[in-house]
Every structure is written in C-alpha cells, then in structure tokens.
Amino acid sequence: MTLFISLARRYPWQTLLTLAAISFAGLAEGFGISALLPLLNTIFSQRGHLGGSNEPAAEWSNRLDQLVQQALAAVGLQPTVAVLLALFTAFIVLKCALIYLANKQIGFTVVRVATDLRLALLKSLFASKWEYFIRQPTGKLTNAVATEATRASTAFHFGAKLSSLVIEASVYTALAFMVSWEATVVALGAGVFIIVLLRRLVQKNRRAGAKQTQHTQSLIAQMTDVLISIKPLKAMAREQQSDTVLTDTTRRLNRALQKQVLSKAALGSFQEPILILFLVLLLYTALVYWNQPLTTMIAMVFFIGRILKQVEKIQKEYVNLVEYESAYWSLQAKIDEARSAREVLQGDQTPALTEGIRIESLSFAYNDTPVLRDATLAIPAGSFVALLGASGSGKTTLVDMLIGLLRPQKGDIWIDDVPLPRIDIRHWRQMIGYVPQENLLMHDTVMANVTLGDDTLTEADVESALRAAGAWGFVQGLPRGIHTVVGERGSMVSGGQRQRIAIARALVKRPKLLILDEATTALDPETEKEICSTLQQLAGGITILAISHQTALREAAGWVYQVADGTVALIQSPPAA
C-alpha cells in the first residue's frame, strides 16, 4: 500500500472524495441490510420457524431492531414490512449511486496520474543537464512515457479498489459483531490465516511484476534502436542478429508474464475452497454446538461469508497492486534522477548580439581526455563564419559551450560585452536557430516540421522561412504544398530537401544566430553548393556559424577557422573593404 499512500498524498482531495463516497456507500449498504434482517426475524418469529431457544433470537433482535425502530421513530415512521423493504431498496440504490461517483472519481484520477507522471518526466528531462540527457537511451524514456506511466496509474486504480474493499469489510464486520462477536472473531482469524497462507503467491507476483517492468524496458529500448537503424540492417542483411536479441528479451518477458499468470491462477484456485471449508465448519459448529436460531444463523452466515469474500477480493486486488507498482517506482526513479541532474541557469541579462561573439582561451576535456586547449576566435555580428576540422577535433563541443549546453572548464565566452554565465541562457537559446547533422523529420506535414507545434506561427511565417531557406520552390510542387506529409524521418523528400526544411525550421523564429552543425556533410557536392549559396544570401541579416570537416563551406564563408589538435586558428578572413 506504500504506492497508494504516496499517490494519495499527491492527490489528497481526489483520494478523500473517493474514499468518502466509498465509505458512505458501505454505510448505506449496512443500513439497508440492517433494515432487512430484523424484517426476516419478525417473519420467522411469526411463522414459528426460529428453532431452538428464543433467547438468542431476542438478544440479537434487540441489537438491530431497537436501532432500526429508534431511527424510524425519529422520522415518524412505523417498522412495517413495506417501510423496511422501502428502506432496504433506498439504501441499496444510494449505495450504487455513491459507488458510481467513487468509480468516476477513480477513473478521472487514474487518467490524471498517468498524465502528471508523463509531464513530470518530460519536464525533468528537458530541464536536465545536457551531459545527463545524452546518456539516456531513447527507448528507455519512450517506454517510461508510454508504458510505465499507464501501469503506474493503473496501480492507483487497484489501490483505490483495495481501499473500498477494506471499508466494505469493516462495515460487514461491525454488523457481524452485533450478531455474534465470537463467530466474527473466528472469521477474522480465518481471514488472517488465509492471507498468511497464500502470502508466497503474492510475493511471487511482486517479483514477476518487477521482472516484467525490467524486461519491457529493455525490449522497447532495443526495439527503438533497431527501428532507427533498420535501413542499414536490411541493406546488409543483418536484421537476423537484431531479431535474435529481441527474441531473447521477448522470451524473458514472456517467462515473467507466465509467472504472473500462474501465481494469480493459483491464488484464485486456492482461495475459494479454503473459504468454503471454513464456512462449512462454522455452520456445522453453529448448528450442532451453539444451538443458534435460524434467523441468527442466516445473519451470521451472510455476514461471515461477506467478510471472507471481501478478504478474498482484498488479496486479489493487492496482488494486482504489487504487480503494477514496480512501474511506478521505476518511473519515479527516472524522474528523481533527472531532477537531480537539473541544469542550473543563473544569468539574468538579456543578450542582443549586435556586436558579435568572442571566445577567449577556452579549454574543455571529457574525463581526462582534452578536447580544446586555449581556443580563441571571434564571430562578428552578421558574419558568415565556418569552423573546419576533422571529425572529433572539438568543433561540436565548442558550439555546445556557445549554446550553453556544456560549461567551459577554462576560458570565457562573451555575447557582445557580457560573459555567457551572466546571460539568461533560455533567452539566448531562443535567439538561436540550430540545424544538426542528422535532420530526421517527423512523420508529419512540412508545416508541422517547420513550426514544431508552435501555434503562434502562421502559414505566412512558414512560407517566409521556406523562401529564406530556398525550399519554397519544391514545397509548392508537393501534392498538398506545406500540408504534404513528408513520410517517416522525411523519407518522401530528398536529402537536400530535408536539409532545406530543417534550415527553414531554424529560421522560422527569426533567430539572431544560425548554427549548422555538419549540416551539409551527407549532401552531394551540387546540393551542398546550393545550400552554401543560400547561406551566403542569409549572411548580413543574421550571424551564421557553420561547422564542417569538408572544404566547400570555406569558399562560401567570410571567416574560416581551422580546429586541429584542440586549438583553433584563423585561416581566412574577408578582404578589407
């Protein structure tokens, strides 16, 4: 129940309303039965079918009849057959209405729990440090959002149902005590005995649930990696190796699911015979040794049976709860881990980028491996600067520090005359348009790929960005223009077209700085020249920093820096005016 208590603290009012409705529903049913059983006592007494001594019947009758008669007298009613039946019906209807309200509240809360957990994970991930984020497997996070959040919210559903069963069992126990406290104590002891006896099955189900969470996470992570790489795998006929890995993980998941099925089936099979055996023994003892009247026997068997049936349901719901709770703790661990890696943003000054960017004596190392040493360069505002160098020379690392994703271990970055640590990083990033090397478009329309869901951007904004990126011509020729779906990862358009759409995406918010990180690497020479020509036309109105290990950008850029052996050297500057 730790999970349910944890969620109840997060959603106190929803949980309180749910439990209140369930409690009143249990009381309503108790009142209804209290009105019905004295009626049966009266009917059997009048017809002479009590059997045995009448003293126990009178004692039991006084316990319930007096309460019912006093309640009816308070509202001016007589305990007639019609009145008692009407009360029974009314209370049962009230119980059903309250259960409906409780179930509706549980359903709403379950949906909210799943939504809140997903949003909490996404917000914590987006707010985390870049070094932390890039270490997270995509499939692992996808599984958390899609599967673990749903299973965690379902655990709340089972926890609420478990609470409702406990409340109903408490009502039946209170009524049973009024009939026979000795039998009730024995019944409660039997309930505890059943729970302890079948505890091992519950523990097996808990372990199987944890394994299910673990193997599902692994399977989806592996599946995501395979789908991303499916084209080269099929091209080299190597998909069989991936199939072997996925099959192995799937089989482990299947074994965990089988253990869950077996433990649940065993629990359901063992509970009922044990309950029936106990009720038979109780009935035999009451008839042979206790000499109870018939109405008392009816009431006792009814209440004791309901108590034990509730115990059976409670254990089953608890099994469901422990099966799903592992998903909640797994998801919560991811949220807490991401929060602990939160990116600290301290600056508060608004940048302008009217003069330029200065990088002075910048040094950075990954663990003990140096990447940059005393790197110094200048990027004048409105200029077109190319950063050339071999793969792994530190070009992207330098750009990541300029964006604020990484912190330099030595040296300074200045935006105009303000050091980067004093600048509002979020505002600074909003001034940047970024085009990565792998421009994987969404399986959506051109417009959606450019706006990325920003509803403040209009079709006119998208058209303007596409024109600036040199993409408007081919987009107009698509079947539905900007509303044409580009296919999975942009597979329905060419590489150069994907790149231009990606540039339009970076330009649509009218940034002050456009960064292209190896954005022309995968293009053929002709398409690369066309992209470089587009960038030259953009220069002047926007500052451009293009990274590449190829030389085509050298001809297009005004300023060119060479990155090699961790150092940066100026190898080309625009001719003097």
Per-residue CA distances from 366 to 125, 342, 392 (Å)? 22, 19, 12
- Asked, for residue 150, whether it belongs to a domain, the answer is yes
CA atoms of 362 and 405, how far apart (whole Å): 15
How many CB atoms sit inside 10 A of residue 334's CB?
Answer: 23
Region of residue 350 (left: phi > 0; alpha: psi -120 to 50; beta: else): beta
For 276, the token pair is 């029936």
Distance of CA 323 to the CA centre of its chain: 17
- Are residues 303 and 407 both part of a single domain? no
- Are residues 247 and 282 both part of a single domain? yes
CA atoms of 30 and 67, how far apart (whole Å): 13
Q: What is the CATH number of the domain that holds 275?
A: 1.20.1560.10
- Are residues 78 and 213 both part of a single domain? yes
Print the domain residue range for 16. 2-335
- Are residues 241 and 370 both part of a single domain? no
Residue 557 sits at φ, ψ, to 5 deg, of -80, 155
Question: Among candidates 141, 437, 183, 195, which has minimal Cα distance to 305?
Answer: 183
Residue 422 sits at φ, ψ, to 5 deg, of -90, 0
- Are residues 254 and 403 both part of a single domain? no
CA atoms of 87 and 540, how far apart (whole Å): 85
- Which of 280, 306, 335 is the C-terminal boundary of a domain? 335
Query: Do 351 and 423 form a contact (C-beta atoms < 8 A)?
Result: yes
- Are residues 499 and 549 both part of a single domain? yes
- Asked, for residue 350, whether it belongs to a domain, the answer is no
Query: Do 180 and 296 form a contact (C-beta atoms < 8 A)?
Result: yes
Query: Do 568 and 377 form a contact (C-beta atoms < 8 A)?
Result: yes
Annotate 13-35 with b (16+ C-beta within 10 A) or e (fewer).
Answer: ebbebbbebbbbbbbbbbbbbbb
Give the pLDDT of residue 61.
Answer: 44
Number of domains present in the structure of the chain: 2
- Are residues 281 and 415 both part of a single domain? no
- Asked, for residue 346, whether it belongs to a domain, the answer is no
- Are residues 386 and 519 both part of a single domain? yes
Query: Do 499 and 439 form a contact (C-beta atoms < 8 A)?
Result: yes
Give the pLDDT of residue 190.
Answer: 74
- Are residues 243 and 384 both part of a single domain? no
- Asked, for residue 16, whether it belongs to a domain, the answer is yes
- Are residues 91 and 218 both part of a single domain? yes
- Are residues 380 and 264 both part of a single domain? no
- Asked, for residue 420, whether it belongs to a domain, the answer is yes
Beta partners for 301?
none
Which residue is it, tokens 């026997």?
A: 297
Give the CA count within 13 Å in the CB-facing half-sphere of 427: 14
Q: What is the CATH number of the domain that holds 554?
A: 3.40.50.300
- Asked, for residue 577, whether it belongs to a domain, the answer is no
Give the CA count within 13 Å in the CB-facing half-sphere of 414: 17
- Edge-first strand order for the sheet with 432-435 is 432-435, 513-517, 543-548, 384-389, 559-564, 567-572
- Are residues 386 and 529 both part of a single domain? yes
| pTM: predicted TM-score of the whole model, two decimal places | 0.70
- Which of 335, 364, 388 is the C-terminal boundary of a domain? 335
- Asked, for residue 64, whether it belongs to a domain, the answer is yes
Q: Which pairs with CB-CB distance under 8 Å and at least 24 residues apart come from 403-409?
A: 403/428, 403/429, 403/432, 403/434, 403/515, 404/428, 404/429, 405/130, 406/130, 406/131, 406/364, 408/362, 408/363, 408/364, 409/363, 409/364, 409/365
Task: Please calculate the CA angle 288-289-291 and round it to the nearest 5 degrees.
Answer: 80
How many CB atoms sit inside 10 A of residue 355's CB?
Answer: 12
- Which of 267, 301, 335 is the C-terminal boundary of a domain? 335
Give the pLDDT of residue 574.
Answer: 80
Give the pLDDT of residue 84.
Answer: 72
The residue ranges of the chain whose pLDDT is under 70 are: 1, 3-4, 30-69, 72, 79, 179-180, 222-243, 245-246, 260, 264, 267-268, 271, 282-283, 286-300, 520-523, 551, 576-577
Query: Do 559 and 386 form a contact (C-beta atoms < 8 A)?
Result: yes
DSSP structure string for 188-200: HHHHHHHHHHTHH
- Asked, for residue 345, whether it belongs to a domain, the answer is no
